Structure formats: C-alpha cells, structure tokens
Structure 1
Amino acid sequence: MNDLLAAYAAGWFPMAEGPDRALGLFRARQRALIPLDQRFHVPRSLRRQLRPGRFELKLNSAFAAVVDGCADR
C-alpha cells in the first residue's frame, strides 16, 4: 500500500487496460489543478445537486477499501 501511495504522490495512478483489464500504472502528461479560492465558481445547477445531506465528503478515509472497490469494477 505504501508503494501505491508513493506512486500517487509522484503523479502516477492505477488503471485497467486492454481486453484482459490488466492493471498498470500511468502518468498523465498534463495534470489539472482546480483552484479552490475566489476563482472557483460552482454553477447554480451543481449547487442544487450538492444540497446538504445528499452527499458526504471524506478525506483520507478508507484508502485501501476505495482502491479495492475500484479494482472490482
């Protein structure tokens, strides 16, 4: 698990590829950064979708379970 975290920190991410869906590590040439300051605008239609109680935001929670869940897809 530490190797996977180190790969994420270096910009690599796991993704299935090919007909056998073999898991490999990939690195995008460009990475997107979303500004979370005054430049960030949430459209009204998205704000309605994000009503309180509809979703729950968690950070750094159940990392291994998330990776396992993604692998099962």
Structure 2
Amino acid sequence: MQELERITARRSELDTLAEELAKQLQEVQAEREELVIAERVLNRLAEQGRAVEGAAATIAPTPAG
C-alpha cells in the first residue's frame, strides 16, 4: 500500500507542475505575440522614417559649394 501512496503523491506533484508549466507557457506565448507586434510597428516606423528622409533629400536644395 505504501507504493500506491507514493505513486499517487508523485502523480499529484506532477499534475501541479504541469498546471504551473501550462500557465507559464501561456504567459510566454502572450509576451512573444506582443513582441512580434512591437517589432512590426518599429519596422514600419523605420520604413516611414526612411521614406520621409528620402523625400526630403530629393526636395532639399543642394548647398552651394
């Protein structure tokens, strides 16, 4: 009977650990999604910045030398 109690206790420990890990995994996945969105936003802003700089360079007069 002692073996059965140890097995049951260990299984309970593993069930608890599995629940904790599942929660951590959800948190990690949510953070990764947020970072993907932030990365896309920064890339778009950088592209817009380059486009504005390019447009300004074509409009700006060349300094006289």
TM over 0.5: no
Q: Greater helix percent: which structure?
A: 2
Q: TM-score w.r.t. structure 1 length?
A: 0.17
Q: TM-score w.r.t. structure 2 length?
A: 0.19
Structure with max Cα Rg: 2
